[in-house]
Amino acid sequence: MRIVILSDIHGNLEALRSITDSWDELWVLGDLVNYGPNPAEVVEFVRENATTVIRGNHDHAIGNSVDPHCSPAFRMMAQAMQAYTESVLSDEQKAYLRHLPTTAEREVDGKRFLLCHAIPSDPLFHYGPQQPAFWEQETAAVNADILMVGHTHLPFILNVNALRVVNPGSVGQPKHGRCEACYAVWEDGRVTLKSQPYDVEATMGSLLTLPIEPSIRHQLAGVLRTGAPPR
């Protein structure tokens, strides 16, 4: 069984298309939309191809027209892009986002997986740091072998007691210092973090034509160019 695991696509179609790994199943850990210029196309790709999809905070916000509770550095960008994203998604697409589950459980090759966007105790909003002490407490009651999370846009694998915590990073808005699409692959009992360069200039070009405040457009483009939050 070969599973490709994506998270935090954020409407970045060029980054999504750059991932050409084959899969038996495709899992998506939330945040299909917001920040990027092609949310409708991303939603349709996920609907057509993904086996398991869970809801992220931005999917929740767009689906319900509420605040995504993102980090302070991104609040103005999220607000501006939420208005744009809500305007281009159909009612059916927004309903799809609204009704995605916040967690999912799977069993593959004898291993139990728990999937959530943020952390098990707060699946939509809490940012889980790359710190074993945090995850030891957070996963004390988790009945799984592998916990798959996203939300921070930072890829990592941590072994916490008998549990493995995996964050594949972000496909569409990486924050680890490189403008590449990050993801993970599970195959033959092993998980691997992977990344793929993509046509970031094409995504930036699309962003710069959107009907939003110019300063917001340039901030978003800067995040893509640097692979890091704004300073």
**Distance from C-alpha of 29 to C-alpha of 170, rounded to nearest angstrom:** 10
pLDDT tens-place string over residues 2-58: 999 999 999 999 999 999 999 999 999 999 999 999 999 999 999 999 999 999 999
Is 81 a domain residue? yes
Mean of all residue pLDDT scores within the chain: 96
Is 145 a domain residue? no
pLDDT band at 230 (very low <50, low <70, confident <90, very high): confident
Query: What is the Rg, in whole angstroms, of the alpha carbon atoms belonging to the chain?
Result: 16
pLDDT tens-place string over residues 188-210: 999 999 999 999 999 999 999 99
The mean pLDDT value for 99-122 works out to 97
Is 20 a domain residue? yes
Query: How many structural domains does the chain have?
Result: 1
Instruction: Please provide the DSSP assignment of 91-144 as one string.
Output: HHHHHHHHTS-SEEEEEETTEEEEEESSBTTBTTT----S-HHHHHHHTTT---
Is 156 a domain residue? no
Is 151 a domain residue? no
Is 217 a domain residue? yes
What's the predicted TM-score (pTM) here?
A: 0.97
**Distance from C-alpha of 199 to C-alpha of 186, rounded to nearest angstrom:** 26
CATH code for the domain in which residue 219 is found: 3.60.21.10
Q: What domain range is 190 assigned to?
A: 2-103+167-226
Rounded to the nearest angstrom, the gap between the alpha carbon of residue 187 and the centroid of all alpha carbons in its chain is: 21
The mean pLDDT value for 92-120 works out to 97
**Distance from C-alpha of 92 to C-alpha of 107, rounded to nearest angstrom:** 30
Is 148 a domain residue? no
Kind and range of the H or E run holding 83: helix 75-88
Paired tokens of 58: 């931005």
Residue 8's nearest CA partner among 52, 41, 55, 49 is 55
| 3-state SS class at 175 | coil
**Distance from C-alpha of 59 to C-alpha of 56, rounded to nearest angstrom:** 5
Helix and strand tally (H, E) in the chain?
Answer: 8, 10
